[in-house]
A = this chain, B = another copy of it.
Amino acid sequence: MKNEELKIFAPATIANVSCGFDVLGLALDNVGDEMLIRKVAKKGVTITKIIGQDLPLETHNNVAGVAALALLAETESDFGFEIEIDKRIKPGSGIGSSAASSAGAVWAINKLLGNPFNSTDLVRFAMEGERLATGVAHADNVAPALFGGFTLVRSYNPLDIISINTPSKLYATVIHPQIEVKTSDAREILKTNIPLKDAIKQWGNVGGLISGLYTEDYELIGRSLEDYIIEPIRSILIPAFDPVKNKSLNAGALGCGISGSGPSIFALSKGKETALKVAEAMKSVYEKVGIEYDVHVSKVNKQGIKEL
């Protein structure tokens, strides 16, 4: 068997990106899971090892396992796959931990099979991992993990994923306060109906953000990073959200908001120097109130999953 084993990096991702609730996402460059996927004679999918986190090894209870099975259900392969995960993204941090493992598994298996599936198929399979993790098969983390850069989930039915131009100087700073916010809880507090006038502001900002990404207008990107719908509700679940946001903006961030359903807070900056200053500003808040945290500073990753 040729190419019988692949070692890959599957990036962490920031979903929603302020104004783009459930549709926008972006990939990080130096934060992600490392995975080893091996073609084996035994049919089916086996999770052989998980390093770094206490997560289920049973295939049907593991997001990578479930995503891989969704792919294999559409093939007639005479062999199976073993998956080892070096789990470097903490589950529940809000930077696409389940999405990275799900996307990584299907990307690598597709490659080992000779790429029978297109990228939309891969999103569809990886979404099954998301369904297991959160109860909702969302695509706004798995799409940027697979494609890199900024992605837009224009539509779920039919699934329509658009890769958006990603300016080269765009850096993300992410701080993860060590508290748990379950995606399902973060969804439950949202309102079923929203004011039309707020929705109009939101889609004005989505339009502005997409335009700013194509024209590489960093100021416009910054002005568009406003969320009138979700952030006012969800931010109450995140300790010291307002001071972290205010200090980030004062330190030069273009914008700042909740990463996915939280509790991580992200900021985007033009250039690494500013992104590092923003990290110091964010840290200073949690140092002061005594909350444990992780901080990541990363270029926006244009490649997505890659072989190591």
Q: Which residues of A contact B (CB under 8 A)?
A: 19-24, 152-155, 160, 162, 164-165, 190-196, 199-211, 214-215, 220, 223-224, 229
Contact = CB atoms under 8 A, between A and B. Distances in A.
- CB-CB nearest 5 A-B residue pairs: A154-B208, A214-B214, A203-B203, A210-B210, A193-B193
A196 B207 contact: no
Contacts of A206: 203, 206-207, 210
B22 A208 contact: no
B23 A162 contact: no
A204 B154 contact: yes
Nearest to A202: B203
Nearest to A152: B207
A154 B194 contact: no
Max chain B Cβ within 10 angstroms of own Cβ: one of A162, A196, A199, A207: A207
A151 B80 CA distance: 52
A193 B209 CA distance: 24
B192 A196 contact: yes
Q: Which of A160, A195, A199, A229 has the most CB of B within 10 A?
A: A199
Given A24-B207, A203-B203, A162 B220 contact: yes
Given A154-B205, A154-B223, A211 B23 contact: no
Contacts of A214: 165, 210-211, 214-215
Contact of A192 (B19, B195, B215, B223): B195
Nearest to A193: B193
B211 A152 contact: yes
Nearest to A209: B207
